[in-house]
Each structure stands twice: as structure tokens, then as C-alpha cells.
Amino acid sequence: MAPVHKSGPLLSVRDLVVEFPTRRGTLRALDKVSFDIAEGEVLGMVGESGAGKSLTGAAIIGLLEPPGRIAGGEILLRGERIDNLPREKMRRIRGRRIGMVFQDPLTSLNPLYTVAEQLIETIRTHMDVSEKEARKRAVALLDRVGIPAAARRIDDYPHHFSGGMRQRVVIALALAAEPELVIADEPTTALDVSVQAQIIDVLKEICAERGASVMLITHDMGVIAETADRVAVLYAGRLAEIGPVRDVIQAAEHPYTVGLMGSIPTLTQTAERLTQIPGSMPRLDAIQQGCAFNPRCTRAFDRCRVERPDLIARGEERQVACWLYDPAKEAQDV
Amino acid sequence: MLTVYAADAGSDMLAFILRRLVQSVIVMLTVALVAFALFRFVGDPIASMVGQETTLAERAELRDALGLNDPFVVQFGKFVARASTGDFGISYRLQQPVMELILSRLPATLELALVSGVLAFVFGVGFGVYTALRRGNWLSGTIMTASLIGVSLPTFLIGVLLIWVFAVELQWLPSFGRGEVVQVGNWWRTGLLTESGRASLILPAITLGLYQMTLIMRLVRAEMLEVLRTDYIKFARARGLSNRAVHFGHALKNTLVPVITITGLQLGSIIAFSIITETVFQWPGVGALFINSVRFVDVPVMAAYLMLIALVFVVINLVVDLLYYAVDPRLRVDRANARH
Ligand SMILES: Nc1ncnc2c1ncn2[C@@H]1O[C@H](COP(=O)(O)OP(=O)(O)O)[C@@H](O)[C@H]1O
Ligand code: SF4
Ligand SMILES: [Mg+2]
């Protein structure tokens, strides 16, 4: 596998800016987003629809759709920049070092190829193995993600599988070349509630077995609570808060996160949508000056409407982008 | 004409083929009715068969002998029965069995149509894929503009222009006829084996195939762009597959499902529309035969041609549906369920 740098995170996103040039000016969809993912860690990423979660994933894996582009910042994988690699080099990273699971398993698989064909193609793209060996690995992988009678089912076409089974196939495909990082973009949103937990479990278990890190994008705070080590909260293309799941859930600091947590009655109740805060997230062309959350924030004060808060460290592991936690202010308040 | 079948685990190949065969028979009977109506209502068959001096009594006798006084259903039944054995009677004009006439002309038309179809498919798919993948570069723009011209110019005009440039001005290629032909087997006379035969084929084939090519190209481009936006293409990229694998292995294959259908159906139109091209290039095929038969109200030939074209369409439709079935596993007999 890849060289081991015990020090330093697996993935490091620094001040990432993603923009869409449009006729009426440039839209800034991600604005100085920074976070790390440690080796073997599961980072949850939450935020309302349109907050920029999928764009973050697409930027990391190098699949932003034009005209979207990375306009600033850098992305490092084990300390090496991957945001400015030549196309061919980045292609070799996709699948091999960073895997991706998309939302809808019904549309993620090519309907004209059998599962075996798609798995073997993926394995042989990245690994120098024979057709036979690739097939052996493919069967083992399918078996591992929980497809019954994998050796037989592998020659079936995607439409022979149910939604939940197809998402298992998608996970197998994403993991086929043993990536170090898996980005799962709402992997259960399109699935029946009854199979959601199983899919998350399979994903989490296999990644843990292999020591792969996971960036788990979801609407579902329940899933985050049960699965993630740390959680990042995204709002209008900016990071609001990031920290260990336990801390953030039990003692959210950013007023937006506090609102989010208020929207989940209990931690075990899942699938609660993050819409309980009055008002709605601004469109990209209508983000207020200062803190993006200020029009909806009950605790906003003058400074919030003028100056944008950067991430402020709160202890060893937490960071919050809110002026309430400005050390200078706190010093005054005391 | 095209029926789209939903994925249905219960349906099987046999039922599918039977259903299509029944449909085909219905279509053929309908066309036969039209062809039969030609006999009854276009001109008087007796008048076309007898001389000026035949008496009215003799005519009535002949009418009776030919069964023209029988009930409609009986006459139609006899017509269908004879037509299904390839018997369309004698050409009024040429005094030869119609089927013989058509069979002797058919190879010329089929060779022309087939070459046009292959040209249209190869260049149509090639240009379509190119313009979809290289959107916005100047060559794509040029191809797209040229294709617009191809769609909007009438066939005979394209033929005349080609003749003017390549036959009259440049004198590279012959402007009419089929060149030297070689007898192959009992029925087939081919122009493909001689140099002059191949040279003669070029201009008519381009003329006939150009419209279909632009059609296929635009279809391929549109389908390709659509497919490139799908999730499974994004997922294929996210797995690090090469551009070549993504574009040609994944995207193009999905594009081809509808393209095969349309191209197949176009082959029918190519044969039908060869009338114009054959006329412009004096190509000795069934199209030219038909045009002449219309001029002389040679009803048996007209009827036979109509039935022939219908048959071509029906057979092509059937083959295309089966191809569709072969390419798209979702339509196939559910092997997985069968094995369970
Ligand atoms: N092609 C595009 N042009 C302009 N804006 C876009 C485009 N694609 C995405 N966006 C914007 O980027 C923002 C973030 O989108 P996305 O990452 O998909 O959100 P999420 O996954 O959090 O729901 C949205 O506000 C969306 O409007
Ligand atoms: S910075 Fe101000 S407006 Fe923004 S969340 Fe904090 S208190 Fe509210
Ligand atoms: Mg999204």
C-alpha cells in the first residue's frame, strides 16, 4: 500500500475555494473550507441541501464539472498536493487511492454490463492482475459486502438486484482497488429505510477492516452520531463547526449547529431533516456580508454583519466559525 | 412503428417473437390491401391487357375468367395467396413476370442501399461521437454546420451537385449507370467486384446516405451527451477508468441502443428513398423500375414494389427489435430468475 507517514493527516483540505463563473458574475460555492481526515477516521459531513457537501467531495476526487473549478486553496493526500495534478495522474488516484460512493444505486451502475464485468474492469484498471485473479477478488469482495451466493450472482446484470443490494455492489466497486479514503455522498438517502443501517454498517466495517478513512456526507444526524468519529458542519459553502461527534452533538457551539441538534429529538431517531431553523440558507448570489448565518442567527450582533468569522480553535480538537467564541471578545466578557 | 418493451421478467423470447410476427403479418396484409386496391381502382386491368379491336362481350368474358366479378374478399384472398408465392402477374409494359423483373433489378438497389447504410452508420457514429466529446472546438462546429446543410438540401440537389463537381468538373467519377457488373450465382449481378462498378457506386451512395448520416450523427451526439451526464458515467470516472474506457466502453455502448434501432429503420427508408437517387444517377435498380412503372401505369409492378418495400420494412423492424433485445440485457429473458 501507500507509504506510511505516521505523522500528519491522510487528507488535508486547506482554504478550498470552488467557483462557478456565470454570466452574472462568479458564484463562490465553497469559500475557504479547511479540514483534515486522519488515517482510519470517519469524518461526517452535514449541512442543508445546497450547502456544498457534494462539491467538496467532487473537488477532492477531481471531478468538478465545468465550469466549476477550484479557485483557491489546496488539497493534500498524505502531504502531497492532488488538486493541481495532470489529468492522467489524478485519474490514477481515483478509485485506487480515493474511492467514491454516490447517492443513487439505481443509476450508479452501467445497465449494460454485468457486475463481474464492472468489477473486473475496475480492478484491472488499477492492479496488474490476470482476469482470473481479478474475478476471484471480485467474488470475494461481493461476498464481503454481503451479496448472498456471490460467485453466482456476480454474472448478473445490475437490474437483477434490489436497491440495497445494488448499493452493496456500488460499495464493492468503490473499494475494488483498495483506496485509502472513501467518500460516500449520501449513500443511503435513496434507499428504503429498512436497509439504510445495514448499508452504513457494511461500509463502516469494511473500511475499518482495511484501515481506510471515510468522508461520510449525509443529512442524517443519527447516522453521524452512530458512525462518525468527527463531524464537520457546512453552511452556505463555509465550514461552521468541526469537532468530535460526541462533543458537537452534546454541546454544539455554533448557533447553526445548536439549531441543527435541536431538530433531532433523540439521537437514536434517524432520518430527521435539517430544516427546523426559521428561514432558509441563502442562495450563492445572495450571501450576506459578514457571517453567512447572520440573517437567521438569534445571537447575531453588529460585528457578525460586517466581518466574516474564521475558524476559531476551541480546545485541542474543536473549531467554530462564530464571533461568539472570539478569544478577544471572551476576554472582554469575563 | 417501434415498440418499446418494458423490462418484464415474465416475458420470454418466444412470446416476444410471436407477438412481433403477428404484428408483421397485420402490417403486410394492410399493405396488400392497398396494393390490391391499386389493381381495382387505378386504370382498368382489362383495358391494359386487350387490344382495341376486342369486343365488349369478349371483354366481359375475360373479366369473368380472371375472376374480376368475384366478391371482393375472394379476389383479395386470391391476390394475397398469389402474392405470398411471389406471383404478381405479368408487367403490362414489359410483358415479363413481375417477380423476375424485380429480382433482376434488386441486387443493384440492395448494393447501393447497403453501402449507403454502412457509410451513414460509420460516419454518423464517428462524427456524432467526435462532436459530443469535443464540444466547442472548431472542427466540431464545422461538422455540425455541414450536417445542417446535409439535412436541409433535397436529395436530388445533392446528387446533381455531386455529379457537377466530381463527374463534370473534376471528371473523377462516372455520373450515371452501374459500371461493369459480374454475375455471381444465378440471380446476383454485382458491381462491387469491378473497379468501374465501385467507382460508379460512390456518388450515388453518398447522395443516398448523406441525409441518414446527418440524422445518425445528430442522434449519436444527443444521446452521447445525455449518457455522459448520467450517474454511471460519473461513477465510472470516479473509479479511475481511462477516458477511452469511459467514452467508448461505457458511454458509446449505451448510446448505441437507440442508435441501432434508428439506423436499422433508416435502412428501410434508404431502400425506399433510393427511387430519387436511382433516377438522378440512372441506377438500374428497383427504384428506377418503379418510377417507370408509375409513368406507364404498370400496376402489377407498382403493387409488387409496394409489397416489397413493406416487406423490407417489416423484416428490418423485426431484426432491429431482436438486436435491441441482444444489446440490452434488461429486455432479455431473465436468466437469473430462471436459474433460481
Ligand atoms: N453547475 C453549477 N453552476 C452553478 N452553481 C452550482 C453548480 N453546481 C452546483 N452549484 C451550486 O453549488 C452549491 C452546492 O451544491 P452541492 O455541493 O451539490 O450541495 P449539497 O451536496 O450540499 O446539497 C449549490 O448551491 C448549487 O447551487
Ligand atoms: S458569528 Fe454571529 S451571526 Fe454568525 S453564528 Fe456567530 S453569532 Fe451568529
Ligand atoms: Mg449533494
Chain B, nearest residue to A60 by Cα? B238
- Residue A245 has what pLDDT? 94
A268 pLDDT more than 70 = no
A5 pLDDT more than 60 = no
Measuring from atom 5 of ligand 1, which residue has the nearest CA?
A20
Single-letter code of the amino acid located at B36 = F
Least confident of A48-62, B225-239, B314-328: B314-328
Largest CA distance in chain A: 70
- Ligand at minimal distance from the CA of A53 is 1
* Cα–Cα dist B122/B119, whole Å: 5
Confidence of residue A99 (pLDDT cuts 50, 70, 90): very high
Nearest CB neighbour to A110, from listed B236, B334, B339:
B236
Confidence of residue A272 (pLDDT cuts 50, 70, 90): very low
A30 pLDDT more than 80 = yes
Least confident of A160-164, A190-194, B67-71, B303-307: B67-71
Q: Residue B136 corresponds to which cell in the numbers above? A: 466547442
B126 pLDDT more than 50 = yes
Residues of B in contact with A170 (CB under 8 A): 235
B120 CA to chain A: closest CA distance, Å? Answer: 25
- The complex's ipTM works out to 0.90
- Residue A20 has what pLDDT? 94
Nearest CB neighbour to A109, from listed B232, B243, B334:
B232
- Residue B262 has what pLDDT? 78
Nearest CB neighbour to A107, from listed B7, B231, B330:
B231
A57 Cβ below 6 A of ligand 1: no
- Residue A331 has what pLDDT? 62
* Cα–Cα dist B251/B48, whole Å: 59
Query: Which of B5, B225, B232, B254 has the most A C-beta neighbours within 10 Å, making it the best mutation to test the interface with A?
Result: B232
A313 CA to chain B: closest CA distance, Å? Answer: 34
Q: How many residues does chain A have?
A: 334
**Ligand 1 geometric centre to CA of A281 (Å):** 13
Confidence of residue A330 (pLDDT cuts 50, 70, 90): low
Least confident of A8-22, B19-33, B283-297, B325-339: B325-339
Confidence of residue B85 (pLDDT cuts 50, 70, 90): confident
- Residue A263 has what pLDDT? 62
- Residue B45 has what pLDDT? 66
Query: Which of B235, B253, B333 has the most A C-beta neighbours within 10 Å, making it the best mutation to test the interface with A?
Result: B235
Helix B286-295, helix B253-280: angle, nearest 10: 50
Indicate yes or no: CB of B329 within 8 angstroms of CB of A63. Answer: no
CB pairs under 8 A between A and B: 86
* Cα–Cα dist B197/B186, whole Å: 19
* Top-confidence residue, B197 or A161: A161
Least confident of A79-88, A244-253, B60-69: B60-69
- Nearest CA to B101 out of B323, B285, B268 is that of B285
Domain borders along chain B are 1-93+296-340, 99-292
* Cα–Cα dist B149/B135, whole Å: 19
Mutate to test the pocket of ligand 1, among A17, A20, A234, A285 (most ligand atoms within 8 A of CB): A20
Distance, C-alpha B219 to centroid of its chain: 18
* Cα–Cα dist B177/B175, whole Å: 7
Q: What is the pLDDT of residues B178-215, one digit of tens each?
A: 878 788 877 788 878 788 888 888 899 999 888 889 98
A322 Cβ below 6 A of ligand 2: yes
Mutate to test the pocket of ligand 1, among A13, A19, A55, A61 (most ligand atoms within 8 A of CB): A55
Alpha helices in A127-160 (DSSP H): 131-144, 150-153
- The fourth-level CATH superfamily of domain B99-292 is MetI-like (1.10.3720.10)
Q: Please state the rounded mean pLDDT for residues A23-52.
A: 93
- Ligand at minimal distance from the CA of A234 is 1
A293 Cβ below 6 A of ligand 2: yes
Mutate to test the pocket of ligand 1, among A19, A54, A100 (most ligand atoms within 8 A of CB): A54
Q: Please state the rounded mean pLDDT for residues B282-309.
A: 87
The chain-wide mean pLDDT, for chain A, equals 89
A50 Cβ below 6 A of ligand 1: yes
The chain-wide mean pLDDT, for chain B, equals 83
Whether omega before A278 lies within 30 degrees of 0, making that bond cis, reads no
Single-letter code of the amino acid located at A126 = H
Q: Please state the rounded mean pLDDT for residues B91-99.
A: 84
Single-letter code of the amino acid located at B331 = L
B124 pLDDT more than 60 = yes
Confidence of residue B331 (pLDDT cuts 50, 70, 90): low
CA-A55 nearest atom, ligand 1: 17
CA angle A197, A199, A203 (to 5 degrees): 115
Indicate yes or no: CB of B239 within 8 angstroms of CB of A125. Answer: yes
CA-A240 nearest atom, ligand 2: 5
CA-A47 nearest atom, ligand 1: 22
* Top-confidence residue, B219 or B66: B219
**Ligand 1 geometric centre to CA of A184 (Å):** 17
Q: Please state the rounded mean pLDDT for residues A24-44.
A: 94
Distances in Å between the Cα of A102 and the Cα atoms of A148, A186, B233 are 22, 7, 12
A187 Cβ below 6 A of ligand 1: no
**Ligand 2 geometric centre to CA of A283 (Å):** 18
- Residue B35 has what pLDDT? 87
Confidence of residue B340 (pLDDT cuts 50, 70, 90): very low
B19 CA to chain A: closest CA distance, Å? Answer: 24
Chain A, nearest residue to B333 by Cα? A160
Whether residue A173 contacts residue A119, with contact meaning beta carbons closer than 8 Å, is answered with yes
In chain B, % of residues over pLDDT 70: 90
Distance, C-alpha A66 to centroid of its chain: 20
A200 pLDDT more than 70 = yes
Strand ranges (E), chain A: 11-22, 25-37, 42-46, 69-77, 80-81, 98-101, 181-185, 213-217, 230-235, 238-244, 312-314, 318-320
- Residue B55 has what pLDDT? 78
Largest CA distance in chain B: 87
- Residue A237 has what pLDDT? 94
B50 pLDDT more than 80 = no
Residues of A in contact with B337 (CB under 8 A): 160
Chain B, nearest residue to A124 by Cα? B241
Instruction: List residues bridging with A239 in a β-sheet.
Output: A234
* Top-confidence residue, B153 or A157: A157
Nearest CB neighbour to B239, from listed A122, A159, A160:
A122
- Nearest CA to A260 out of A236, A295, A235, A283 is that of A235
Indicate yes or no: CB of A111 within 8 angstroms of CB of B242. Answer: no
**Ligand 3 geometric centre to CA of B198 (Å):** 58
In chain A, % of residues over pLDDT 70: 92
Residues of B with CB under 8 A from a CB of A: 7, 230-232, 234-243, 245, 249-250, 253-254, 257, 327-330, 334-337, 339
CA-A284 nearest atom, ligand 1: 25
B31 CA to chain A: closest CA distance, Å? Answer: 37
Nearest CB neighbour to A112, from listed B7, B241, B329:
B329
Chain A, nearest residue to B334 by Cα? A160
- Nearest CA to A9 out of A64, A95, A75, A90 is that of A75
Instruction: List residues bridging with A19 in a β-sheet.
Output: A28, A69
Q: What is the pTM of this model?
A: 0.81
